[in-house]
């Protein structure tokens, strides 16, 4: 098991390396620091001196890969690649183009993101599985058909409508919730409840259909049929046979996305004014702060890779037939 | 005549669809399956609606230049919509209103100065008095509904005369009913649109219904072109990985895991930010704003396509791994058939249904994604009519007093109808072509 995980890590490391190279190419080679400076300072009426000063202040005035003016070790280290990309690889996020320490921002903003994303995810999962189970229990009957129609309809509505509509109706018209905002201590739940509820509603269409198809596959298998034939009630068949067997694909799917919850949700956070990583990303995109975008790309990649490893471990843990390491 | 790049793409997309339908004539099995698809009432009705959207997009894809400085480029759709396209008010007005939502200060006949709404320039101008409005709307509605339904009914009867409906398994009645109601609705919208603003007007006074209809082309193009762009990558890489295994498989898996590792929105955002920078610095390349927006639309599709092929590639890889162990493939290998021929003859035809299902599923997802991208500011050009841009504006409009909800409603109605039809058709296609698959 340990050797397997180490081997897996060694396979995943090149992916992080590649992601880093990709962002380096995109942000420093395709798009030169001069372009960045011009975009930040305004395209017209900008002097060369202003561009040089902007670059120097952010450390973008170094050569890309090889510093021929320096000597010894500095030839490698006094370059944009080393200062920005390699440091990022080692989780030194550096300073944003606007001059703030990205690492500190991330640590501070991860919590609001998590407070929103984790309850939304857990609640959504429970609701989706419960509804899917209900539909599978009444398979082929009117409840199942009605459920399928409703899920298709929900799937066909953009999440933006749920958010805009929900915010308007429940917060502005009915005053059930505050419209937006965030208070770290005290009334946290008052602010988080509406986005959580809307997130669950927006995801229920695709979610229920997905879990329904997983459970349906188990419900068609021989052991479920046998259980029904020997007189078990439908509910017991679900509880004792269908659900436990369906748990494996559900669990591995959940574990894969769990780390990514850290990234927060872009739309929710910016709509409800929650100072998490999602709104951080949107702000960075809007202000064209490439340093933050680079940091978020790398963070996302790390979390994704972490999710892949967790999936493998979850497989081995949940299904005794899977043995890691000796393939 | 002015040919935008995206016009070419739209026509090519539709032609390839027609070509796809044409080659069904030779394939008996596929024809049988499509008949099964058509036997579903919902799938058939959805197809009729989708066809209607395609026609709108096509009409909006023939452009030419005019001398009018306010509308330098027009399309067939603009001309067909008549006053809906040209009736530009000053600012907001409510659906079917004949007075503006904004107020203007003016002097009345007796000399006093008041602040009141003004009469709209292009709505209800044929009325002698505001009190006639309700009767006029009812009368006109009945007229246009009857005209629309009647025209469609005549068309259906003509088609029936041609014995087109001899295939009795297919619920032609549903198709005909959908066509008649769709036609009645369209005639009503068009007819009312000539003397009122059916969905009101937006911030700069444009007709919202017109804007919604213009959004059809953008939505269809993003869904259709992007899906098509993903196919070459997904098919070639997915099949190669599964069939050749070894280092090819490693390389392909490495590539798509890397692409997946980068958060989707950020990858698209990075690419679009760079593209925007490029477009801004090379503004001289484009003769008009519309042409620049057009190139940006294609870039959005390209970027979405470059990141969107991984899902299908993964499915095709798994399927090819299974197929290469089949006896007929092994036999072909033993006879010395070349790899290229084996892939062409044995693998490609056997993964066709997976590709088809992915295409229809991705389409609706991408139409929805456009709205989110426009919201983040990395989607289509803000000057381009699109549902995403309408939703984006609607956010502030809901905070106005009185509330301006019609932009949001227009985008909602257009998007919902298109995506729901596509989803329903996709469901049926999946049911017929791959009944055992789980849908993600």
C-alpha span between A273 and A179 (Å, rounded): 9
Question: Do residue B281 and residue A43 have CB atoms under 8 angstroms apart?
Answer: yes
Distance CA B420, CA A208 (A): 17
Task: Give dist(CA B270, CA A288) in Å, integer.
Answer: 9
> Which A residues 43-72 touch B at CB under 8 Å?
43
Q: What ipTM goes with this model? A: 0.87
The answer on pLDDT for A44 being more than 70 is no
| Tokens 């017209």, residue located | A44
Q: How far is A199 from chain B (nearest CA, A)?
A: 15
Residue A327 has pLDDT above 50, yes or no: no
Of B271, B368, B427, the CB nearest to A152: B427
Most A-contacting residue of B247, B260, B266 (CB-CB within 10 A), to test interface: B266
pLDDT for the residue B435? 66
Using an 8 Å CB-CB cutoff, list chain A residues near B260.
304
Which of B258, B269, B273 lies closest to A19 in CB terms?
Answer: B258
d(CA A116, CA A163): 14
Task: Tell which wins on pLDDT, A37 or A158.
Answer: A158
Cβ contacts of residue B102 below 8 Å, gap of 6+?
B90, B91, B92, B117
Which CATH class, in words, describes the domain spanning A104-318?
mainly alpha
What's the gap in Å between the CA of A186 and the closest CA on chain B?
28
Element holding B102 (H helix, E strand): strand B99-107
A137 φ, ψ (degrees, to nearest 5)? -60, -35
CA–CA separation, B384 and B218 (whole Å):
8
Q: Which two tokens stand for residue B179?
A: 């066509």
Q: What is the DSSP string of A112-137?
A: HHHHHHHHHHHHHHHHHHHHHHHHHH
Contact B438 A213 (CB under 8 A): yes
Task: List the 254-293 stretch of A: residues with Cβ below 8 A of B.
Answer: 260, 263, 266-267, 281-282, 285-286, 288, 290, 293
Contacts of B419 in chain A (CB under 8 A): 155-158
User: Which chain B residues contact residue A180 at CB under 8 A?
Assistant: none
Write down the pLDDT at residue B398: 84
* Contact criterion met (CB below 8 Å) for B397 and B407: yes
Residue carrying structure tokens 């659900």: A243
Cβ of A31 and B277 within 8 Å? yes
CB contact under 8 A, A304 and B280: no
Asked if the model's pLDDT at residue A325 lies above 70, the reply is no
Please write the tens of the pLDDT for every residue from B47-99.
999 999 999 999 998 888 888 877 788 889 988 888 888 888 888 888 888 88
Q: Which residues of A touch B269 (CB under 8 A)?
A: 285, 293
For residue B292, the model assigns a pLDDT of 83
How far apart are the C-alpha atoms of B197 and B208, rounded to whole Å? 8
Residues 6 or more apart whose CB falls under 8 angstroms from that of A89 comprise A16, A17, A20, A298
| Separation between Cα atoms, residue A270 and residue A276, nearest integer Å | 9
Structure tokens, B312 = 């299908």
pLDDT at B414: 94
Probe site for chain A from B261, B361, B366, B406 (most A CB atoms < 10 A): B261
Angle between helices B348-376 and A159-166 (to 10 degrees): 30
Residue B67's CB is within 10 A of a number of other CB atoms, namely 6
Token representation of residue B412: 């909602």
Q: What value does the mean pLDDT take over residues A224-230?
A: 89
For A49, A54, A64, B318, the CA distances from A37, given in Å and listed in that order, are 11, 6, 16, 46
| Cβ–Cβ < 8 Å for B152, B179 | yes
Alpha-carbon distance of A238 to B345, in angstroms, equals 44
C-beta separation of B396 from B205 below 8 A: no
Crossing angle of helices B172-195 and B41-59, in 10° steps, is 40
User: How does pLDDT run across A255-286, given as a tens digit for each residue?
Assistant: 888 888 888 888 888 888 888 898 898 888 88
Cβ-defined contact of B377 to A213 (cutoff 8 Å)? no
- Helix, coil or strand: residue A60: coil
DSSP H or E run through B324: none
Residue A161, chain B, CB below 8 Å: the answer is yes
What value does the mean pLDDT take over residues A50-74?
Answer: 74
Cβ atoms within 10 Å of A312's Cβ, excluding its own: 18
Q: How many residues does chain A have?
A: 327
CATH of domain B208-433: 1.10.3720.10
Give Cα B76 to chain centroid, integer Å: 17
- Cite the residue boundaries of each domain of chain A with CATH code 1.10.3720.10: 104-318
Pick the range with the lowest mean pLDDT from A55-59, A97-101, A241-245, B255-259: A55-59
CA distance B398 to A165: 9
* Beta-carbon separation of A15 and B258 below 8 A: yes
What is the Cα–Cα distance from A273 to A296, expressed in whole angstroms? 19
The two counts, helices (H) then strands (E), for chain B are: 17, 4
Query: Residue A306 in contact with residue A10, Cβ under 8 Å?
Result: no
Residue A303's nearest CA partner among A114, A78, A80 is A114
pLDDT of residue B82: 84
Cα(A62)–Cα(A79) distance, integer angstroms: 5
DSSP for B13-30, please give it: HHHHHHHHHHHTTT-HHH
| CB burial of residue B46 (10 Å; 0-12, 13-18, 19+) | buried
pLDDT reported for residue A80: 77
Residues of chain B with confidence (pLDDT) below 50: 438-440
pLDDT at A29 over 90: no
Q: Rounded CA gap, B10 and B59, in Å?
A: 10
Q: Cα separation of B39 and B168, whole Å?
A: 10
At A290, list the tokens.
């490439």
Tell me whether residues A172 and B364 touch, CB distance under 8 A.
no
Look at residue A326 and tell me whether its pLDDT is greater than 60. no
Residues on chain A touching B439 (C-beta within 8 angstroms): 209-210, 213
Residue A200: predicted pLDDT: 93
Residues B397, B403: Cα–Cα separation, whole Å: 7
From chain A residues 79-98, the ones with a CB under 8 A of any chain B CB are: none
CA of A66 to nearest chain B CA: how many angstroms apart?
24
pTM of this structure:
0.90
Q: Which residue has the tokens 């007709």?
A: B207
Region A43-64 average pLDDT = 75
Q: Which residues pair with B116 in a beta bridge?
A: B104
Is the torsion defined by CA of B327, B333, B338, B339 positive or negative? positive
């Amino acid at each position: 098991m340990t050797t397997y995980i180490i081997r897996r890590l060694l396979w995943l490391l090149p992916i992080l390396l590649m992601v880093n190279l990709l962002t380096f190419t995109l942000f420093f080679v395709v798009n030169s620091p001069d372009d960045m400076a011009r975009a930040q300072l305004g395209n017209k009426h900008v002097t060369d001196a202003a561009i040089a000063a902007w670059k120097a202040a952010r450390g973008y005035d170094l050569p890309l890969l090889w510093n021929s003016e320096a000597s010894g070790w500095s030839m490698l280290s006094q370059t944009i690649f080393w200062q920005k990309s390699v440091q990022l690889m080692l989780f030194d996020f550096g300073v944003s183009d606007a001059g703030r320490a990205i690492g500190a921002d991330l640590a501070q903003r991860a919590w609001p993101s998590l407070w929103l994303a984790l309850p939304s995810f857990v609640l959504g999962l429970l609701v989706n599985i419960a509804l899917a189970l209900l539909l599978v229990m009444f398979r082929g009957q009117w409840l199942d058909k009605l459920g399928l129609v409703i899920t298709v309809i929900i799937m066909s509505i953009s999440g933006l409508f749920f958010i805009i509509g929900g915010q308007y109706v429940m917060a502005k018209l009915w005053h059930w919730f505050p419209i937006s905002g965030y208070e770290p201590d005290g009334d946290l739940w008052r602010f988080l409840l509406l986005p959580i509820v809307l997130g669950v509603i927006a995801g229920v269409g695709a979610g229920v259909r997905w879990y329904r198809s997983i459970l349906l596959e188990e419900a068609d298998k021989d052991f479920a049929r046998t259980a029904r034939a020997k007189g078990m009630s439908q509910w017991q068949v679900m509880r004792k046979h269908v659900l436990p067997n369906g748990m494996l694909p559900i669990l591995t799917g959940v574990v894969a996305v769990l780390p990514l919850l850290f990234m927060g949700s872009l739309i929710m956070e910016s709509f409800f004014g929650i100072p998490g990583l999602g709104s951080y990303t949107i702000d960075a995109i809007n202000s064209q702060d490439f340093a933050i975008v680079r940091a978020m790309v790398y963070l996302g990649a790390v979390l994704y890779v972490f999710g892949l490893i967790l999936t493998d471990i979850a497989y081995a843990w949940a299904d005794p037939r899977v043995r890691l390491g000796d393939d | 005549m002015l040919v935008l790049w995206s016009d070419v793409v739209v026509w090519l997309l539709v032609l390839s669809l027609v070509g796809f339908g044409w080659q069904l004539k030779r394939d008996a099995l596929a024809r049988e399956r499509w008949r099964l698809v058509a036997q579903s009432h919902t799938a058939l009705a959805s197809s009729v609606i989708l066809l209607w959207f395609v026609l709108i997009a096509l009409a909006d894809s023939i452009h030419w230049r005019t001398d009018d400085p306010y509308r330098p480029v027009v399309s067939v759709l603009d001309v067909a919509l008549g006053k809906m396209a040209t009736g530009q008010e000053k600012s907001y007005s409510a659906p079917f209103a004949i007075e503006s939502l904004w107020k203007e200060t003016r002097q009345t006949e007796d000399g006093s100065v008041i602040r009141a709404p003004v009469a709209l320039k292009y709505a209800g101008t044929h009325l002698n008095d505001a009190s006639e409005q309700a009767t006029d709307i009812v009368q006109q509605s009945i007229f246009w509904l009857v005209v629309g339904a009647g025209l469609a009914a005549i068309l259906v009867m003509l088609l029936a005369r041609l014995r087109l409906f001899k295939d009795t398994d297919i619920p032609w009645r549903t198709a005909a009913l959908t066509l008649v109601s769709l036609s009645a609705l369209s005639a009503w919208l068009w007819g009312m649109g000539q003397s009122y603003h059916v969905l009101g007007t937006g911030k700069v006074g444009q007709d919202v219904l017109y804007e919604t209809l213009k959004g059809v082309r953008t939505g269809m193009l993003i869904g259709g072109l992007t899906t098509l762009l993903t196919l070459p990558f997904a098919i070639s890489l997915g099949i190669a990985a599964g069939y050749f295994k070894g280092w090819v498989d490693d390389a392909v898996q490495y590539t798509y895991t890397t692409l997946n590792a980068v958060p989707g929105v950020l990858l698209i955002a990075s690419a679009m930010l760079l593209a925007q920078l490029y477009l801004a610095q090379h503004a001289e390349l484009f003769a008009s704003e519309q042409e620049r927006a057009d190139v940006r639309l294609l870039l959005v599709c390209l970027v979405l396509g470059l990141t969107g092929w991984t899902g299908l590639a993964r499915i095709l890889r798994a399927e090819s791994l299974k197929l290469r162990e089949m006896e007929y493939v092994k036999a072909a290998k033993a006879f010395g058939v070349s790899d290229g021929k084996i892939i062409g003859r044995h693998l490609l035809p056997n993964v066709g249904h997976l590709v088809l299902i992915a295409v229809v599923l991705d389409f609706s997802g991408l139409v929805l994604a456009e709205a989110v991208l426009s919201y983040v500011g990395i989607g289509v050009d803000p000057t381009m009519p699109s549902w995403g841009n309408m939703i984006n504006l609607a956010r502030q409009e809901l905070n106005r007093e009185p509330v301006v909800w019609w932009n949001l409603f227009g985008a909602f109605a257009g998007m919902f109808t298109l995506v729901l039809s596509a989803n329903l058709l996709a469901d049926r296609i999946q049911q017929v072509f791959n009944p055992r698959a789980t849908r993600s």
